Structure 1
Amino acid sequence: MTITIKTTPIEGQKPGTSGLRKKTRVFMQPNFLENFVQSIFTAIDGVAGKTFVVGGDGRFFNDSAIQVILRMAAAGGAARVIVGQGGLLSTPAASNLIRKREANGGLILSASHNPGGIDEDFGLKYNISNGGPAPEDVTARIFEATKTIENYATIEADDIALDALGETELAGMVVEIVDPVTDYAALMAELFDFDAIRKLFAGGFTLRFDAMHAVTGPYAHAILEQQLGAPKGTVLNGTPSPDFGKGHPDPNPIWAKPLMDLMMGVDAPDFGAASDGDGDRNMIVGKGCYVTPSDSLAVLAANAHMAPGYKDGLAGIARSMPTSGAADRVAAALGIEMFETPTGWKFFGNLLDAGRATICGEESAGTGSNHVREKDGLWAVLLWLNILAARNESVSDVMADHWARFGRNYYSRHDYEAIDSEVAASLMDDLRTVLPALPGEQAAALKIKKADEFAYDDPVDGSRSEGQGIRIWFEGGARVVFRLSGTGTSGATLRVYLEQAVDGPDGLTDSPADALLDVANAANALAGIQERTGRDAPDVIT
């Protein structure tokens, strides 16, 4: 029976770059999740007769939230909801499923790389029919609906058995439980030369993939170990856990330190990789060789033609603005289009749909292509494996050759987490105020060449996005970017992106810390980070 529940607007339900993220206990408060779900349904003109995909990364509250969504979808008259078995779907797998099944959209339950558990983080985002995150006009409508909501509809019904494959009915709506891996694995087999990768493993090539107790564990077990023949034990921490093994499922050298220690040791495997909570990010490490996400994007773009799915070349490359210019060098050499977008995968969707870009990436460990409309961690690992199989070289050899050919962009991101929101806003406002006067000024040892606040004009639909980060260039090829992140749940996170371009051959093998020292000092001098935040150093350096 359908019932209507009266409610009132709840503060703090404005979606960020990847949906709404809050502490789990906030989502568990009465009506909080229901208000946001109803606001999504309102923003998309209802769900009657429509088909949706629903799944998440398995973090705490994932299964309970799915039951709420199913009951509300049934109350709204949805025709079918496709759910990953056990409530699990990696974000790229959900994107693929939306596209393959021609669903109207999908609700993905995840806070991505944020920690999970009852005292940690939870999130929910809506993806549209192309499989990509809702664009700004849709998230704006969702937010407006959260401010005026008066009631929501649900039904009284028992929970659906999420572990049982097959179809069942919920108040006239079909609930279809599917294996979360099958369709995604089939897509990967179409894109990559699985025979070549099998031969790589058969020849003794060694890999350690850290699933970080998150959603990619089942995918990695099925594809790497079962289909490609990697030895059992290749996948580490492969069982999803509601609190991610009490860890932080962010694939970077800080939070994936055990893998980094292994890869930098004397008995290191040939290749190391990790993925995050919902499977859309990746970290790539060779034996004694960490590959930054910006460099990984550039290498993948330069070598993608070695994989069957990209044998005809790339239409273009797109990167988020804070990502280094390493991929720009590749695009120029290949004679293809290069796009610089705001942070947030949704900005790549129009370019991919229009056939203007084939491969996209962000410095925050996300890379992907036109195969789905999300970044895809395991996809990046498989493309790397395909490239290594085709080139018969180590990761360090691939990187040395790449830098010799294209030049190098030294790069690092400094994160100051959970700082006072007013302090962070004031810091950015003060930088914004002095931007016009900065060119020609000195900042520590560097002279400022130009400065601006990034705005993006979408070349496909003509929309404009402003206030996307402050950029400052220096003479000699250095750049610093200041930006407040929208992915945290406490206070504000100030991200400072440091870059130094080197055309070579001199300086191609410097340590990143040495190459970026002057840029780091200039950034602190410009923004007064230490004085304003009271932090002697960043919380995380990647």
Structure 2
Amino acid sequence: MVSIIQTIATKPFEGQKPGTSGLRKKVKIFQQPNYTENFIQAILNAIPAKGATLVVGGDGRYYLDETLQVIVKLSAAAGVSKLVVGQNGILSTPAVSNLIRKLNATGGILLTASHNPGGPDNDFGIKYNISNGGPAPENVTDKIYEISKTITELKIVDTPKIDFSVLGKQNVGELEIEVIDSVHDYIELMKNIFDFDSIKSFFSNNPNFKMLFDGMNGVTGPYGQRLFVQELGLPESSVMRCIPLPDFGGAHPDPNLTYAHDLVERVNNEGYDFGAASDGDGDRNMVIGKDAFVTPSDSVAIIAHYAKEAIPYFQKTGVKGLARSMPTSQALDLVAKKQGLEYFEVPTGWKFFGNLMDAGRCSVCGEESFGTGSDHIREKDGLWAIIAWLNILAYVNKKNPGSGVKDILQSHYQIYGRNFFSRYDYEEVDGKGADEMVQRLRSMIETKELEGKQLGSFTVATADDFTYNDPIDGSISKKQGIRIIFQDGSRLVIRLSGTGSSGATVRLYVEKYSNNASEYTADTQKALQSLIDVALDLSQLQKFTGRTKPTVIT
């Protein structure tokens, strides 16, 4: 059947500038006539789309179904050769990255706003990933943006609604659409990375050891159900909230101590030994144990420490290097130094890790924003991190039976010392005030008035606005976050985040290192309080934002 391509006049919309996290706006903005169509057309024009194979899927949030139909109509008109789509449009972000790489696809269109709330009054997002499976770099997102500013027409094929619940292949003109099992390929990948037999043996040898995985009504629910119940043979009571919902059940699908409080309460009150959660699109994770919260900074350091010992994938490939985002604690650096590995400090944004991985210089990496991953794909991977912890628990228990999450943490501190670390998030603050706050700090850095200054009991060694010179492509990323580094190695970092859909989010990071074993069990907030006081006083955050307390503390 020959498809008839229709040309429809359109006008540009302001603000369709995607970052590496894509374009995120309120659903009602995407629902404007031609708004979604314009952005998808801009992506297809930028690729370019003729003959392309694209992987398409999302986290199940509100407005997913309508956007899938738009992609079909525009792709058919643009000459796309094939769309590979998860059943019911469901594909986690790590699963999309894996499929792009496995299929040698041109790229992928991800329909997600990650950890942001969903529903008709909340957020939607569209993101493009390139052929390595990672987020589109700036040269691609800039091209998409430039097209979006001048777009005048849409090319569509008017086709009946596609039923994405049915597995198999169908055609719209020359366009082939293949609907696949959302979970299968990803599960096979995990089984090739980790020692599932060892994990199964650990659970069978420790029948009283209980774990609980919280899918937060996001995309990883079906993956968790398949992994933990079907593959590892755990009881149904080991998983919760594993059905993807358009509004995530009214919850905020962000795996931290604030928004995953249901999981935290159950682990604390019902005798679970290991708790874990993932976010809306599956790229973030949280790990907790009995009376033990694993900071993402500690988590990536511990995974890196055990990688070659415990995880089959790294026994085959080796560990080529380690990397962390700049705000992430320096715990990972200590592992790299002890193991003689190259390590990197990069700006926030997974594309920087991807460059290092593609060049064979990074195997394990992480961000303090609950993102952890490796070179098996080019996105952070929540379930990968959770299974890594189970693999490590199984490995450690062979030598030290009865070891839990808290024991692994304390053992790590005995080797490396402890990097006390916390992040304060002030969400949806007035953007003007937040910018003024940062500009004031930049001015203080430029005039060098902070260097050598005494702030409370801390003396400033250096202060800068982080600049990254990418060793792979030579690009320079400036103004990536204010860093105040003290003489004792403690740090303050202040940066504005661009992952929300409205207002600004101020992130304040505090880090203090201790090699005093008597302090390793101390409460994090108490250990950091004097440094937090210094940060709030220096930044004048309350004055500029009007906020007396953070939205989230992690």
TM-score scaled by length of structure 1: 0.98
Q: Which amino acid aligns with 1:190?
A: N
Match of 2:124 among 102, 122, 125: 122
Q: Which amino acid aligns with 2:272?
A: P
Contact 1:210–1:275 under 8 Å retained in 2: yes
Query: Is residue 365 of structure 2 the alignment partner of residue 360 of structure 1?
Result: yes
Partners of 2:20 and 2:177 lie apart in 1 by 29
What does residue 292 of structure 1 align with? 295
What does residue 520 of structure 1 align with? 532
Q: Which amino acid aligns with 1:371?
A: H
Partners of 1:259 and 1:444 lie apart in 2 by 37
Query: Is residue 417 of structure 2 the alignment partner of residue 417 of structure 1?
Result: no
Q: Which amino acid aligns with 2:24?
A: R
Cα offset, 1:443, TM superposition: 2.4
Query: Is residue 16 of structure 2 the alignment partner of residue 16 of structure 1?
Result: no
What does residue 278 of structure 1 align with? 281
Q: Pairwise mapping of residues 190-209 of structure 1 onto structure 2 (< 5 A)? A: 190-203=192-205, 204=207, 205-209=209-213
Partners of 1:270 and 1:400 lie apart in 2 by 16
Match of 1:231 among 235, 239, 264: 235
What does residue 400 of structure 2 align with? none
CA RMSD of aligned residues (A): 1.0
Match of 1:244 among 243, 248, 259: 248
Secondary structure of the equivalent of 1:55?
A: strand
Moved more, 194-203 or 319-328: 194-203
Partners of 1:4 and 1:347 lie apart in 2 by 38
Partners of 1:374 and 1:282 lie apart in 2 by 13
Moved more, 424-433 or 307-316: 307-316
Partners of 1:346 and 1:32 lie apart in 2 by 26
Q: Pairwise mapping of residues 55-74 of structure 1 onto structure 2 (< 5 A)? A: 55-74=57-76
Contact 2:20–2:141 under 8 Å retained in 1: no
Query: Is residue 268 of structure 2 the alignment partner of residue 256 of structure 1?
Result: no
Moved more, 87-96 or 453-462: 453-462
Partners of 1:518 and 1:16 lie apart in 2 by 35
Partners of 2:525 and 2:267 lie apart in 1 by 20
Contact 1:368–1:374 under 8 Å retained in 2: yes
Partners of 2:156 and 2:449 lie apart in 1 by 56
What does residue 530 of structure 1 align with? 542
Match of 1:501 among 508, 513, 522: 513
Match of 1:344 among 349, 352, 373: 349
Match of 1:488 among 487, 500, 505: 500
Contact 2:19–2:138 under 8 Å retained in 1: no
What does residue 415 of structure 2 align with? 405
Contact 2:20–2:136 under 8 Å retained in 1: no
Q: Pairwise mapping of residues 323-402 of structure 1 onto structure 2 (< 5 A)? A: 323-392=328-397, 393-402=403-412
Query: Is residue 319 of structure 2 the alignment partner of residue 314 of structure 1?
Result: yes
Partners of 2:147 and 2:453 lie apart in 1 by 46
Cα offset, 1:223, TM superposition: 1.1
Q: Which amino acid aligns with 1:93?
A: A
What does residue 183 of structure 2 align with? 181
- The runs of at least 4 consecutive aligned structure 1 residues that moved more than 6 Å come to none
Cα offset, 1:501, TM superposition: 1.1
Contact 1:90–1:216 under 8 Å retained in 2: yes
Partners of 2:370 and 2:473 lie apart in 1 by 27
> CA-to-partner distance for each residue in 1:426-450, whole Å, 9 max, x for gaps?
1111110111221011223322111
Secondary structure of the equivalent of 2:480?
A: coil
Contact 1:75–1:171 under 8 Å retained in 2: no
Partners of 1:446 and 1:531 lie apart in 2 by 23
Unaligned runs of 5+ in 2: 398-402
Cα offset, 1:174, TM superposition: 0.1
Partners of 2:314 and 2:405 lie apart in 1 by 20
Partners of 1:381 and 1:48 lie apart in 2 by 39
Q: Which amino acid aligns with 2:33?
A: P
> CA-to-partner distance for each residue in 1:399-455, whole Å, 9 max, x for gaps?
000001011110011011111111111111111011122101122332211100111
Q: Which amino acid aligns with 1:246?
A: G
What does residue 82 of structure 1 align with? 84
Partners of 1:383 and 1:211 lie apart in 2 by 17
Partners of 2:185 and 2:33 lie apart in 1 by 36
What does residue 98 of structure 2 align with? 96
Cα offset, 1:526, TM superposition: 1.3
What does residue 442 of structure 1 align with? 454
> CA-to-partner distance for each residue in 1:91-135, whole Å, 9 max, x for gaps?
000000000011000000000000000000000100000000001
Contact 2:107–2:129 under 8 Å retained in 1: yes
Partners of 1:478 and 1:25 lie apart in 2 by 44
Query: Is residue 306 of structure 2 the alignment partner of residue 303 of structure 1?
Result: yes
Contact 2:20–2:137 under 8 Å retained in 1: no
Partners of 1:272 and 1:291 lie apart in 2 by 10
Query: Is residue 457 of structure 2 the alignment partner of residue 453 of structure 1?
Result: no
Partners of 2:92 and 2:230 lie apart in 1 by 19
Secondary structure of the equivalent of 2:12?
A: coil
Secondary structure of the equivalent of 2:25?
A: strand
Cα offset, 1:294, TM superposition: 0.5
Cα offset, 1:149, TM superposition: 1.2
Partners of 1:211 and 1:228 lie apart in 2 by 17
What does residue 470 of structure 1 align with? 482
> CA-to-partner distance for each residue in 1:318-342, whole Å, 9 max, x for gaps?
1111111010000001100111111
> In the comparison of the two structures, how many residue pairs are matched?
540
Partners of 1:8 and 1:443 lie apart in 2 by 53
Partners of 2:37 and 2:388 lie apart in 1 by 40
Cα offset, 1:478, TM superposition: 1.1
Partners of 1:218 and 1:353 lie apart in 2 by 30
Moved more, 69-78 or 473-482: 473-482
Secondary structure of the equivalent of 1:188?
A: helix
Cα offset, 1:502, TM superposition: 1.2
Fraction of identical pairs, as percent: 52
Q: Which amino acid aligns with 2:439?
A: D
Contact 2:436–2:544 under 8 Å retained in 1: no
TM-score scaled by length of structure 2: 0.96
Cα offset, 1:535, TM superposition: 1.1
Unaligned runs of 5+ in 1: none
Partners of 1:504 and 1:359 lie apart in 2 by 28
Q: Pairwise mapping of residues 48-59 of structure 1 onto structure 2 (< 5 A)? A: 48-59=50-61
Match of 1:211 among 210, 215, 220: 215
